[in-house]
Structure 1
């Protein structure tokens, strides 16, 4: 038995509370229905059915409640984010104004796929809300059995390790597959993620059906003189922790057996002044990762160890379309491409 309302328990302590943020937004209906769910130990939301904007078959996650007297519906918009999540504050303020007018005022930066998620809108406000967002040049992202909204790291705009132009590739692939983002036609979801280097800041290795990971295939560049500025104890520690034991350090000189190096970036991250990625840049393609599913979670498999990734990306697009066509033909409903493989 709760001494106070369950939602009030979630506002206690020193940590930020999402319940408090809901209250700040004035979204009292969600607070009340969530409190009831905690008391009853079951959700009071049910599937929202087919809701959306005319001409689109994706982008709105439907949620209806079984307590319409408290909150009738609380649908979610999935909006395509700019490449690398670079927003202008002026644009974001206009988004907030739109969502405060038509929705709950709650924004989620960002969904697991990368979308800007606008949480909580009544069914009758879906059309005017989207029309206002469209005037700001925002568009619906993916949901259901379609190409989901792509995700790319900030790449060359902010990172010295980027091996490909993640921002340009994101834009080109988004526009190439925009019809497949808006109109589901596949057995299940298809996620494309684009990190600029093997540090994989967008979790492509674990969470994308098709990962384009910026990489290099020549040798790591080593500045032996600058390396000497690092403590020898640290150098030996990094050498001993190399995942493939491809490094050695003798007589003040670091050697790397590139035939056994997996380009994991560990040594480069530890010695950013002395070690740099090579000059022969491109990408490694992984296929089939997913975080959960019928047969469990698994990481992506290496499909292409190295491929040049340069505009207009014709070969890369041909590979994506070819795999999609095969999967579309043999895949079962709710079966990701990794499970089909």
Structure 2
């Protein structure tokens, strides 16, 4: 390897108590020329205050339209080892459960055929393999395929579905997120690997309203575990929490967003007005031994979250307050087919489903997809005094 690079600006990012990506790139650069040139290009970008990457065309593997992001530098003469620096997305297992042996095999492939730099995991959830050349893309795909892995989504397609650890490690899961993620990944192989829509679409599955994968803020379709009946209260456990010093009135009842809980200090019993409960998980998080979710479990389906693209960042809208989530998920898949057909027919280039709903209106979306309107769709009740009737609803 050439003499050590001078990177005074990047060195600043190694100061302080936290781990630094700069340190990791330096370590990789000691044995990999691509990583070393990446360090130099990054230092140059900090000096010039401009990024030195450009889009140089579509690259990929045989039969796939997604899974590889083509990346080239606009300074190939100064940094020849990263004149091509493509990113490969590898679809993650449900809940990100790996064996250490399998992770070592993936890393061995990448050190042989790429920069050795990885991102575990990207915003979509995939394993991100950072930096390789065009001639290595097909061999990388062949190597990871032999080990049972597949490419994830990229471009205007379905991105790799991702989920929380669900019933694998969490008692709060209201449906099997791991199974549903695996099922949708297999069901929608064409949609993942062959871009066919106006822009990208993401599924994210959280087993409860704690939403550990932040689906409500990031996914075009968020599937959030919930229950339809009342929470289950164990009064003996409530008394134990009180005896241990928990201020149930202040820390539980007072902080309930809908104030549906009532605590009787004399009897030390807790009661709930189930009709007012929004199933937010606060009381369960604080008093996990005393309060459990209801028995009739399923999921709330939400639509439209995204970061800023054409419009500003959106949070999800509720479209189905409760749906049973049991294999083979037929009701959910049939609904998604209708939603995708409408988006494909009406969406503009690079317009996410949430932006299309914002442009054409929730009413238009609901009528086209056959989804009934429900009160949970209303953000601020009675904020809009106007009722818009459809022509076929007016008696002449």
Output the TM-score relative to the length of structure 2. Answer: 0.83
Identify the residue that residue 6 of structure 1 maps to in structure 2: 9
Residue of structure 2 in register with 1:121 after alignment: 132
Q: What is the aligned counterpart of 1:248 among 234, 259, 262? A: 262
CA–CA distance in structure 2, aligned partners of residues 184 and 175 of structure 1? 16
Residue 131 of structure 1 deviates from its aligned partner by 1.3
User: Residue 58 of structure 1 aligns with which residue?
Assistant: 66
Deviation of the 1:292 alpha carbon? 2.1
Question: Which of 226, 234, 238 is residue 215 of structure 1 equivalent to?
Answer: 226
Aligned to 1:197: 208
The reply on whether 1:21 has 2:24 as its aligned counterpart is yes
In the other structure, the counterpart of 2:237 is 226
What secondary structure, in the 3-state scheme, does the structure 2 residue paired with 1:121 have?
Answer: coil
Match of 2:307 in 1: 291
Q: Contact 1:206/1:289 (CA < 8 Å) preserved in 2?
A: yes
Partner of 1:257: 273
Equivalent-residue separation in structure 2 for 1:285 and 1:305 (angstroms): 6
Q: Kindly indicate whether structure 1 or structure 2 has the higher relative contact order, using CA contacts under 8 Å at least 6 residues apart.
A: 1
1:48–1:75 CA contact under 8 A, matched in 2: no
CA distance, structure 2, for counterparts of residue 94 and residue 339 of structure 1: 41
Q: Distance in 2 between matches of 1:313 and 1:91?
A: 30
Tell me, yes or no, if structure 1 residue 136 matches structure 2 residue 147.
Answer: yes
Task: Provide the secondary structure at the position in 2 that maps to 1:241.
Answer: coil
What SS does structure 1 have at the residue aligned with 2:247? helix
Q: Which 4+ stretches in 1 moved above 6 angstroms? A: none
SS, match of residue 230 in structure 2? coil
Structure 1, 68-77 or 185-194: larger mean CA deviation: 68-77
Matches within 5 A, 1:1-341: 5-26=8-29, 27-69=35-77, 70=79, 71-231=82-242, 233-237=246-250, 238-250=252-264, 251=266, 252-341=268-357
Pairwise CA RMSD: 1.3
Q: Distance in 2 between matches of 1:196 and 1:105?
A: 34
Change (3 A) 1:32 1:268: same
Q: Deviations over 1:115-137 (max 9, x none)?
A: 11111112221121121111111
Aligned length in residues: 339
2:254 alignment partner, SS class: helix
- Report deviation, 1:277: 0.6
Q: Deviations over 1:170-229 (max 9, x none)?
A: 111111111110001011111001111111111111111111111111110000111111
TM-aligned CA deviation for residue 262 of structure 1: 0.8
Does the 8 A contact of 2:7 with 2:40 survive in 1? no
Larger-gyration structure (1/2): 2
What secondary structure sits across from 2:301 in the alignment? Answer: strand
Residue 4 to residue 31, structure 1, CA distance change in 2 (3 Å): closer
Which residues of structure 1 form unaligned runs of 5+? none
Partners of 2:310 and 2:350 within 8 A in 1? no
Q: Distance in 2 between matches of 1:165 and 1:4?
A: 48
Structure 2, unaligned runs of 5 or more:
1-5, 30-34, 358-396
* Structure 2 Cα separation of the partners of residues 178 and 234 of structure 1: 51
